[in-house]
Structure 1
Amino acid sequence: MTVPEWLEFLTAPGTDWPGTLPANEGAVRAVEQRLGLSLPPSYRNFLLVSDGWEEMPTNAGTLRTADAIGWYPETDPEMWTAWFGPDMDFPDLESALRRCVLITTDSVQGDVWVLSADHIGANGEWRAYEWWPGDDGSLLPHDSFGSLLLSARDAWVLERAAEA
């Protein structure tokens, strides 16, 4: 999604999904330098419209600001050690998440959103995963950050409609 598409998404009537102030280009470039990779276009453009998201109506907590994202093992070492410490045996899951950028904060429900630098498409988009550490470790894949967020929004809209 482009910057104008994200602006439209975040300000669409009835969504109640306001973003936060945007990150500037310098902040986004600093993250890319720290990671050693260019961020996927849909996520990069999102940050330029909304640097994180304080109140996401999902189980994934909040979207981190540009300066708070990073490689999963380094960004949340406590959770990483809990799942992949010496007494744990989840080699496939550990391998899948090791080169993922953690983009959400801890949530009450425990859902995690990550972007996989090991799965970059021809369009520059990284595969996005939803993961709930309380289950069997299965990762729910999405083609991109944009498709992950749109999927979450659609689920949220359906939930709101059911409550009405």
Structure 2
Amino acid sequence: QHLYPFYKKELEKGMLTQEKAKELLECLWIKFNNQPAPPKVGVTLAESGTYTDFANINNGGLKVDGSDGVNDLTYLILDVIDEMRLLQPSTNIQLSKKSPDRFLKRAGEIIRKGWGQPSVFNAEEVIEEMLRQGKSIEDARCGGTSGCVETGAFG
């Protein structure tokens, strides 16, 4: 959802094609895997700048207004997840009662391959947890998961 306005604007201006956007996303996936992870114990501040093991790309979910957050870029990211098959960045789908069947089916096709990506989260429950943590409904809807399975929001 955060990248979609930029993606849409560049498509409309003719500065970007779907194919080029997919290539750029694939380059990002590769870049995530170019950085060696520091030791798991005793990570220093200097090392943590290259530590990508806890990045988590959220897909789907809900928009600030409560409507479905799936868009064309969501499906492009699912294609990248499927084709790249890299463990980093971690990826997930945020399912809600408003998620389109096409989104669930496409994610299911990837999950069925058995390599562990994307993980699945209940968007409504993630939002409820953030509300319990004191976030506003708008901030909770813009949030998602980070790291392994932690919930988080920007507000």
Q: Same fold (TM over 0.5)?
A: no
Query: Does 1 or 2 have the higher relative contact order (CA < 8 Å, sep 6+)?
Result: 2
Using the size of structure 2 for normalisation, the TM-score is: 0.30
